[in-house]
Amino acid sequence: MTDDLDSLEEELRQLVPRALSPQAHDRIRRELEAGDAAPARGRRLRWALTGLAAAAVVLIMIAGAARLRNTRREPGQTAARETVPAPEKRPAPLTLPADVFEPVEFSTVLVNEHDEGTVLVPDFGPARRVRYEFVNRVQWQNTNRNARFIVTTPQEEVVLIPVSMH
């Protein structure tokens, strides 16, 4: 860079960003330390979704396991097993804890940002419309089985930024 830009850069570095107010600092710290960071509504929704997803995964796994056993069974074996059940050889009932899968990683990546220019919005006035495209990725993991799956969902946000017209 040129000398004047270097000196400007150095001058900017001398400026100290304003600190958080003590109240905000304390609020953030307490919220994080309490481990109760999520807003109540969001947290409830998140855990509800977590529970639903875990239940769905368990059902899918049970159905898949049952289907696998059926497809591997030979016709003769079926008859033999049915006529001479051996209690000690009977497969143990499939029991899975309800919380077997847990979200272990969440990320949101901005993949595209498009400035669509100035638009006139009724009851709003002139505004710059910027479209953001995100990809949300949640990774679930079953630590007992070392199994995992990833849910990826697109998300689009349109932001209107008021502009003044001169």
Binding site for another protein (CB under 8 A): 1, 4-5, 7-9, 11-13, 15-21, 24-25, 27-29, 31-33, 37-39, 104-113, 121, 123-125, 127, 132, 134, 157-164
Q: Report the largest interatomic distance among the alpha carbons of the chain, rounded to a whole angstrom.
A: 92
Whole-number minimum distance, CB 16 to another protein, in Å? 4
Whole-number minimum distance, CB 107 to another protein, in Å? 7
Nearer Cβ to another protein (81/129): 129
Half-sphere CA count of 21, side-chain side, radius 13 A: 3
Write the CA distances from 52 to 67, 98, 100, 151, integer angstroms: 22, 10, 12, 14
Whole-number minimum distance, CB 83 to another protein, in Å? 54
Whole-number minimum distance, CB 32 to another protein, in Å? 5
**For residue 142, how many other CB atoms are within 10 A of its CB?**
19
Nearer Cβ to another protein (49/121): 121
Nearer Cβ to another protein (32/60): 32
Whole-number minimum distance, CB 133 to another protein, in Å? 9
Nearer Cβ to another protein (81/137): 137
Nearer Cβ to another protein (100/132): 132
CA–CA distance, 57 with 144 (Å, rounded to integer): 14
CA–CA distance, 52 with 98 (Å, rounded to integer): 10
Place of tokens 């009932």: 93
**164, two tokens:** 């003044």
125 near 118, Cβ under 8 Å? no
Backbone angles phi, psi at 96, to 5 degrees: -125, 135
